[in-house]
Chains A and B, each alone.
Chain A
């Protein structure tokens, strides 16, 4: 996307076209379009209520958009085109299959409390991907190594700190070997001293070339790690471009206000 000054030429992993989403009569997304290329890190910024979470949740179909299209890895998410060329609702099995390729990390971690750390990580690879047990366990241990929690593998989540839980949640999502990772304010419910360890893991993922869409209020992190930044306002893209363009030299009045509040 040279028009926004991005060098990436990788293939498109996520494509959103003119997405609209209503909650009742409230229009939360008012026609959002974006593309994320393989290996890119896209950060979504915006004030509370601007629709960041809703946009992420539409991408893996936890929310159903009212109109517009979402493509993940060139496959339609949540809809299909029937023989007559009409747009239909996707079959549930197809949605599930596509979700396997989309990792999601939630603000509230959402680990399953009745399973140990290791059980949380291997659950979906074993039962959804149906990968062989040995491979899954081997890879789970490698992921725990990566997030620095090998010694916690047999603990229940309630025994871990928030930062540790979130790192397990990241490992759980990565264990499915997704094509893209969605992060929804992964550090917002952490104590300040625990934020760094989670951002550290995310930074390492970005450097390895993981394709990521990140919603965060950590502006420093966004500047440093993002290839591209989108500033959402009231359900519309107000500004987009490199971190320098959007955060440091905002052109629109609204983004200038938003970033001056955060940066100073």
Chain B
């Protein structure tokens, strides 16, 4: 009984986590690394797809919608594995030489695709939330399409979509913990390495959970703080 309790307590022995910090914390850097690269990819693809979805051309609209739905409705876990294995196989066959994706590249592509689907929808909703009349008022004063986009539509769209986009970034950060699956050496991956080597995995996992929690909680709180005043100003 006592022994059991002691064992359970050991599972929370964060000193062990601290002891291996030299191995573990660089792993955390990988999470941020993947996160920032993925945000770039996802926002870029999301803007392109949102533009397609808002196009006056039916075919382009369909392509944009199809793309977003495909990305949004495939589990990230599967996208990740699929991107890591399948496109290199196809490329190898097509080019007749051995192609492989580095884990980091595959992770950024896969997570980028997956979350770009959500960003597409957020951007589209943000841009189309701007009333037609505001745009017409600008055009009636002689403002060009691009000036109207830049000065009238985007500032309002950003205010409208900021809270949602922030939430999506928070989930994106959570998703970066999946990349250990394909051997990107992130925090979780390092934890599993150390735990295999030392057979003292539990405290390390507890430590990782705590670290992730603190980061994500901090990020979410900041996101909230940051987006609230923006929202209020717009109406």
A residues within 8 Å of B by Cβ? Answer: 60, 62, 92-93, 96-100, 102-104, 106, 108, 110-114, 123-124, 127-128, 156, 158, 169, 172-173, 176
Contacts and interface: CB of A to CB of B under 8 A. Distances in A.
Contact of B141 (A114, A156, A158, A173): A173
B136 interface: yes
Contacts, number: 69
B233 A114 contact: yes
Nearest to B135: A110
A256 to B, nearest CB: 35
A235 B69 CA distance: 45
B48 interface: no
Contacts of B233: 114, 156
Nearest to B155: A114
Q: Which 6 A-B pairs have the closest CB atoms?
A: A100-B142, A110-B137, A124-B141, A110-B133, A99-B142, A104-B140
Contacts of B133: 106, 108, 110
Given A113-B156, A113-B234, A114-B233, A128 B137 contact: no
B156 A96 contact: no
Given A104-B137, A127-B147, A158-B235, 17 more contacts: A92-B145, A99-B142, A102-B140, A103-B140, A104-B140, A106-B136, A106-B137, A110-B133, A110-B137, A112-B156, A114-B155, A114-B159, A114-B234, A123-B141, A123-B151, A128-B147, A173-B141
A184 to B, nearest CB: 10
Interface in B177-224: none
Interface in B144-185: 144-145, 147, 151-152, 155-156, 159
Given A100-B141, A104-B140, A176-B141, A113 B147 contact: no
Contacts of A156: 233
Q: Is the interface of B mostly helix, strand, loop or mixed?
A: helix
Nearest to A156: B233
B225 interface: no
A196 B124 CA distance: 40
B143 interface: yes
19 contacts: A92-B144, A92-B145, A96-B142, A96-B144, A99-B140, A103-B140, A110-B133, A112-B134, A113-B234, A113-B235, A114-B159, A123-B151, A124-B138, A124-B141, A124-B142, A127-B143, A127-B147, A158-B235, A176-B142
A112 B151 CA distance: 10
A110 B134 contact: yes
Contacts of B21: none
A33 B134 CA distance: 29
Contacts of B155: 114
Contacts of A127: 143, 147, 151
Contacts of B144: 92-93, 96
Nearest to B133: A110
Task: Report which residue of A60, A98, A110 has the largest number of chain B beta carbons within 10 angstroms of its beta carbon.
Answer: A110
B229 to A, nearest CB: 13
B235 A128 contact: no
Contacts of B234: 113-114
A16 B143 CA distance: 23
Nearest to A182: B140
Given A113-B235, A114-B159, A158-B235, A128 B143 contact: yes
Contacts of B235: 113, 158
B143 to A, nearest CB: 6
A123 B141 CA distance: 10
Contact of A112 (B137, B142, B145): B137
B152 A128 contact: no
B134 A99 contact: no
Interface in B98-152: 131, 133-134, 136-145, 147, 151-152
Nearest to A169: B137
A128 B146 CA distance: 12
Nearest to B156: A114
Contacts of B142: 96-100, 124, 128, 176
B171 to A, nearest CB: 27
A62 B156 contact: no
